[in-house]
Amino acid sequence: MCDGLEIDMLSVGNADALLITLWHGTYATRVLVDGGNAGSYDTVRSFLDSLGINYIDHVVCTHPHDDHAAGLVKLVEDTTLSFGQGWMHLPWLHADPVNLSRALASRSTMFDAIKRTMETVDLLYERFKARRIPVREPFAGGVVGCLRVCGPTVEYYEELLARMTDLEAIESYERTKRALDRCDTFEEVVREAESGLLSNPTTSPENESSVILCTAYDGRQLLLTADAGVGALSRAVDMYGLEACFWMQVPHHGSRRNITRELIQHFRPVMACISAEGTHKHPSRAVVNAFNEVGTSVYSTHYPKQAHLWLHLGSVPERHGYGPATPLYEAQ
C-alpha cells in the first residue's frame, strides 16, 4: 500500500511541466502544473504513457506564456486524456474592458507579447470548454488537490493586469529589460557569478502573475514558483511564511531576474530544482551559487544530461530506469 508524495519535473528545456501525485493506498490524486511549449507535447504524453496515466484530477496553467501554456492546449485537445478540473486566470473578469481593448488594439510592438498571451488564454479556455472541463481561477487561499495556492491574490493580479495595459509602465519595463540584456555578455556573467545576485531585479507583469503553489508532506514543505518574481514571491512569504522549505522549484528556469539573496536565505531549501536547457542565463550561475551558499543542493533537468527529475517521499510505486540525480556542477 502506498502513502506518499511524488513531484516529477519533466525535461522540457526552458519551459515547465510538473506532475504532483499524492498517494493514499492504491488511489492517486494528480495535479499537472503547466505543459511546456507546444513542442513539449510528445515528451509529456510519453511520460504519462510510461506510467499508465490517462486521467489527471487537476490541470493548472500558472500563466499564459507559451513555454507553460502552449503544451497544455495540445494536452487538453488530446481526447485520450481526461481531466477533472482546469485552473487558469481569466483576465477579462478582472481588467478594465476599455483599457484592455485599447491595449490589444495598439500597434505598439511593446504589446505584441501581451497580445500573444491573451490569445493563448482564449485558446486554452476554449479547449477546456470544448471538453466540458470546469474551470476555476487559482488565487491565494484556494486549494488545488493537495496543493495550496499562495499567490497571487485577486488584488495583486488585478494590479498586474493594470500594468499590462498601461503603455508607460510597459515601456519602463522594456527599457529596464533592454539594459539588462545588454549586460548579458560573457564578462558580465563571470562578474555576476563572483559578486552575487542583482539587488533589485524586475520581471514582466505576466511572470509576476504566476500561480505560486505549496504543499507539505510529513512535516516537509515543498514550493512551486513557476516564473514568479520578487514582488510575487515576497507577497507569498508575507502571507504564508514559506521559510525553510524541504524542496522548491527555482523560479523562471533559474533566471537572475526573479529572486534575491534575501529570498533565498528565507526559503533555504534542502534541495531546489530547475527546468532549463543549460545556457548561461538559464540557469544563472549566480543564482545556483546563492542557493549553494545556504546549503541547498541544486539540480537541473539539463545536467549532466537532459533528464526528468523525480522527488518521492513516503511510500510510492517503484520505478525503473531512475537513479540518483547529480547536483549542478558536481559531475565528474
- Rounded to the nearest 10 degrees, what angle do helices 41-50 and 66-77 cross at? 60
Among the ranges given (5-19, 27-41, 45-59, 183-197), the one the predictor scored with the smallest mean pLDDT: 183-197
Among the ranges given (108-122, 153-167, 188-202), the one the predictor scored with the smallest mean pLDDT: 188-202
Give pLDDT, residue 96.
Answer: 73
Give the burial class of 146: count Cβ atoms within 10 A of its Cβ; 0-12 exposed, 13-18 middle, 19 or more buried.
buried
- Cβ(296)–Cβ(268) below 8 Å: yes
Percent of the chain with pLDDT over 90: 75
Secondary structure (3-state) at 86: strand
Q: pLDDT-derived band of residue 117, with 50, 70 and 90 as boundaries?
A: confident
Secondary structure (3-state) at 220: strand
Give pLDDT, residue 187.
Answer: 43
Percent of the chain with pLDDT over 70: 86
Read off the pLDDT of residues 272-323 as tens digits, 9 standing for 90 and up: 999 999 987 899 999 999 999 999 999 999 999 999 999 999 999 999 989 9
Q: What are phi and psi of 287, to 5 degrees?
A: -65, -45
Domains in the chain, please, with CATH? 3-305 (3.60.15.10)
Strand pairing partners for 149?
A: 213
Read off the pLDDT of residues 161-181 as tens digits, 9 standing for 90 and up: 888 876 665 665 555 555 555
* Residue 5 reports pLDDT greater than 80: yes
- Cβ(262)–Cβ(200) below 8 Å: no
CA distance 268 to 226: 18
Give pLDDT, residue 79.
Answer: 97
